[in-house]
Amino acid sequence: MHAYQFHQMVSESHQITIDLPPHAPSGTAQIIVMFPDAEEGLHQTKAKPTNLAQYTAWLEAHPRKGRSAEEIDRYIREERDSWED
Provide φ and ψ at 83, rounded to 5°: -70, -25
Identify the domain containing residue 60 by its residue range. 42-83
Kindly state whether residue 29 falls inside one of the protein's structural domains: no
Does some domain include residue 1? no
CA dist 14 to 25, 33, 59, 77, 83, Å?
A: 26, 12, 19, 48, 54
On whether residue 78 sits in a domain, the answer given is yes
Instruction: List Cβ neighbours of 44 (8 Å cut-off, separation of 6 or more).
Output: 36
Could you tell me the pTM of the whole model? 0.37
In a domain, 63, yes or no: yes
Q: How many domains does the chain have?
A: 1
Q: Is 22 contained in some domain?
A: no
Per the domain annotation, does 16 fall within a domain? no
Q: What does each of the 85 residues of the chain score in pLDDT, given as a tens digit?
A: 788 888 888 888 888 888 888 888 899 988 888 887 765 555 555 567 888 988 888 888 777 778 888 888 999 999 998 887 5
